[in-house]
Amino acid sequence: MKIRATVNTIRDLAVNYNRLGSTFYQDQDAKQLIISSLEKIHSGGYQEGGKEYGNWWNWEIGIPKSLNEVLILMGDEVPDDLKQKLIRATAYFQPDPMYSGVSEGAKYSTSKNVRVSTGGNRTDTSTVSLGRGLLTRDEGEVKRAIEAIYDVGELQNGIRDTNDATLNDGFYHDGSFIQHSSVAYSGTYASVLIEGLGLFAYMLKDSPSFQFSDPKIDNIYESILNGYKWLLVNGGMNDSVNGRAITRAKSSDVTRAQSFINSISLFMDGAPEKYKSDLQGLIKRTLLEQNYELKDAPNDTVRNILRNILEDDNIKPMQTVGVKRFPFMDRVVQKSDKGTVVIAMHSNRTAAYESMNGENLQGWYTGDGMTYVYDNQSTDSYTNYWHNVDPYMIPGTTESRDARKNSSGQRRYLKDRSSKTFVGGVDNGIKIDGSQGNADKAIIAMDFTSYNDKTTAKKSWVMLGDMVLALGSNITSEDQEEVITTIDNRVLNGQQTLTQSGDTVYFTDPATLQTISYKVLDNAEIKTLIEKGQDNSTEFAKIWVNHGKKPKDASYAYLIMPGYTADEVNRFDKATIQILKQNAQQDAVKVGNSLFVNFFEAGEVGNLSVDKPLSVIKIEENGRLDIYAADPTLLIEDEINLSVLGKYLLKEGNNVTSIILDDKTKFTFKLDDHQKYFSAVEESQETSEITQETINSNNTDDSPGNSTASTSQENSEDSSTVATNNIVDTNVETSENVVEDTSNNNEVAVEGVQESDSEEEQLIDQTSSEQIAFSQMYLDKYAKMLKNMTDVDISIIDNFNYDHYFTATLSESNKHGLGGRFQTGFNQSLNNHTKIGAFAEYRYNDINQLGLGANARWYDFSSFIRYRHVFDRSAHADYLDLYLGYDKTFTFNQLSIQPRVGVLGSYLLDNKLPDNGKLDNHFAVQTQLSSKFNYHIGGVALYVEPTWKVNLDDSYHLKLNGKEYELNRSRQEWIGKIGVTKNIGNYTFDFSVQTNNHQERKMIATFNYQF
């Protein structure tokens, strides 16, 4: 756009007009040229009421940012009337830092609608407002700019299915950065965002009136360290996160890294000390890798910051080694002392690539599994790459040779995205709580379908620390041309040589003897070719495998070995890598004691099986089992069952349960933030470590028979506790208990019974001391089921005064998630003091309950009898409930008090539990005492309601796998509840929050209709 280009030229001239030593320093002709050019910009259309022709960004961001810089640089040397006209023009085109597309002129642009400004654009709009506020000395506008820019520090939690191009934009907690809703843009848009933050931090750091400080900004420092230490490679910004900018003229991954370093330097200068040293180390590493020259710094401020970092011997270059997954932008990086591999994928969450404004017209396959492979020497691997590479042969991709149209198949928008969700993987850095730590192994998956859905493949990468195994399976195509897997398509820098020897191809640097090597592990024929690029000058070396036309179930397998010497490659033993499965269902590889599996479908590989699509690493060593699992789809919320061959006892894990069935162990768990880690030990090893006197509180004992179970001690608070002699909690008092073994009539001492602080359900194994079953998974399962079955709801009594009623309640609990209750019934008056009625109800909260009953009310006494059927997919129970209670309301002006006391009896008629479990018939008794305090004001009632429940019955008896257990319910429960009620005619609306002594918190919304 001509106006923007002119403004940028004026800005450069203004910089030189104010720079001591410049040819134009204080030159009056230069000054007049600046002023006359500004007049022409205004008269040429950049004015109040103007129209935004073409790209909106020029009018709302590009031009006003540069104009602000010119006006600040020139100060009073620009006539005041001209200055004010230009300031009003910027306020017309970009009036609010929170939004874009606000002006009347926006309807003529490429983006006509008003929308929230996000990501890098938000920092730009905020910068425009900041500059204008400083020029006009408008404190309100400066404050709005500061408040608006803080929002860019709000981390996103997950990709949303939306057509809104802004809702997904920004940084994610895994270090990803998304712009334009689906494009990985850490290298350009994020760099702009950080540049804007740096400008704010630098300009406001000494301000007596404004502070640039917000907890959200710390998120940006965290994201920089979490992401860019992986994405900055050999002095360049890896092009997998540079979007369409990869094809910009006179730019490369190195120049983009320089821009990023310039941007981060100002921002880093004001960083808290806990981040500053790491940021300095990252900057120093990148400067040294690219042989940065300080003369290339954009200004003296940045130059001085960078000089101080380079010259300070106490600042050490950051070292980064390991594997890093970016699930929210479908990127993966492996760094080692030998080299780096980066994988760029796409899924239903992310775009295949972006093409816009004539840029990246042929970036078709850059997100189809492209692999960037670096040794640790070269900084020019991608310097002259994108304008010259054959766009049909992108390293790591499997594509047909069918002709493509420019900018086709970007898959940026929701309606166009790939249908495939299984893209991502798992690494061995997952911690017990599901958070991410350092990893050095991973398996990555891409369920691939081409832009036209005619070519499909299952692609996997096993990342082994300093090499990567690339696998392709189930390669099938209906396209007309040949399908090829491009292993590499690399620029030869004039020194490298290409050598093929049998199943191995080397790129060798004679100066270092380092190679980038590829070793084929199957019988595929490798093809190589050296040819000129599109500029007819740059040499490219191509390596590929040809799968032929319309292949069905084709495959490939090759090792990527960056930084190895030719001798190391030749001596490498391929037998150390065992490919166990390579098909449409699973890719599985065994290396040493580690098994790597991508379960594209639920199934079994060797001695490992899962019931959900999952990526898994299983490591077995010296009787210890470590399991790392993750969901590449980011969609699984249900429980997962994972089974291994062998008898294992759970050692550590968060909300993981285990059960031994014959010669296998089944682990059941839910994922924490889409991933999970837990460990177990062989049953025989665990038994040998246990003595009568000393029991490790983190371990579980062995058990005879075909079925034993255990659970992690890190279970959530609503999990039941177990009273057996193998658990000692050093934080609670223990006591001796004597229970009767019902199988042999011997009395045995069971030591170390845990006194549960929260009085949750307990299960006591009634077998001999030689037969104590470590069935904690069962204990949790049945004890929790018992709680759900017997924690009976009596809220139906609140409806006994209505002739006809319907009540719907929704609740959200921190322990049980979403629950609901629906009640309907009628009541018939027999006289002034007596009513009888009938009701039906359905309740869901971890388990389903259906109830049918009859009720009566006489004076202030209420009673009901109810048949209740409790069920889920694997269990059911039938109860008969009988309730008798008394409640009365006392009113004092605006205050009313309703005390209530009641007794509830529940008789267990019949039941069927999982794994052939059976509870004996049982009569449970519970008393409840509560009082509701209502304060009525303006048609609304505010209330507080404390409740005390006490269970008076004896233990339940459970028969399970030939043994008997006692199930002890918690004796008492305290509940505190506050809420608000509003009556509108026959309708009542109630909202409340409550908590109890078991740390359960719940929000409850109730709607009642009386008719």
- The answer to whether the Cα torsion of 529, 533, 536, 538 is positive or negative is negative
Tell me the HSE value of 896 on the side-chain side, using a 13 A CA sphere: 12
Instruction: Count Cβ atoms within 10 A of the Cβ of residue 621 and give its class: 0-12 exposed, 13-18 middle, 19 or more buried.
Output: exposed
Given the DSSP bridges, would you call strands 577-582 and 526-532 parallel, antiparallel or unpaired? unpaired
**From residue 639, how far is each of 613, 657, 710, 828 by CA, in Å?**
12, 11, 16, 46
Token code pair at residue 198: 């740096």
Cα pseudo-dihedral 299, 303, 306, 310, rounded to 10: 160
Token code pair at residue 769: 């001391």
Token code pair at residue 39: 């007049």
Bridge partners, residue 665, by sequence:
644, 660
Residue 349 is a catalytic residue: no
Could you tell me if 766 and 963 are in contact, meaning their C-beta atoms sit under 8 angstroms apart?
yes
Could you tell me if 589 and 577 are in contact, meaning their C-beta atoms sit under 8 angstroms apart?
yes
- For 928-940, b/e burial (b = at least 16 CB within 10 A) is bebebebeeeeee
Q: Can you tell me the distance from the alpha carbon of 922 to that of 521, in angstroms, rounded to the nearest whole number?
A: 65
Could you tell me if 1006 and 807 are in contact, meaning their C-beta atoms sit under 8 angstroms apart?
yes
Q: Could you tell me how far CA 542 lies from the centroid of its own chain? A: 37
Catalytic option among 244, 256, 857, 866? 244
Residue 42 is a catalytic residue: no
Residue 624 is a catalytic residue: no
Instruction: Count Cβ atoms within 10 A of the Cβ of residue 838 and give its class: 0-12 exposed, 13-18 middle, 19 or more buried.
Output: middle
Token code pair at residue 833: 């003091």
Tell me the HSE value of 365 on the side-chain side, using a 13 A CA sphere: 26
Could you tell me if 686 and 649 are in contact, meaning their C-beta atoms sit under 8 angstroms apart?
yes
State the first-to-last Cα distance of the chain, in angstroms, to the nearest integer: 68
Of 665, 675, 663, 672, residue with least CA distance to 700: 665
Q: What is the largest CA-CA distance in the chain?
A: 110
Catalytic option among 185, 189, 518, 965? 189
Token code pair at residue 363: 């970036």
Q: Can you tell me the distance from the alpha carbon of 789 to that of 792, in angstroms, rounded to the nearest whole number?
A: 7
Q: Can you tell me the distance from the alpha carbon of 662 to that of 679, in angstroms, rounded to the nearest whole number?
A: 20
Taking each continuous run of H as one helix and of E as one strand, the counts in the chain are 15, 56
Of 731, 734, 762, residue with least CA distance to 749: 734
Could you tell me if 904 and 912 are in contact, meaning their C-beta atoms sit under 8 angstroms apart?
no
Angle at the Cα of 713 (from 710 to 717), degrees rounded to 5?
115
Q: Which residues are catalytic?
A: 180, 189, 244
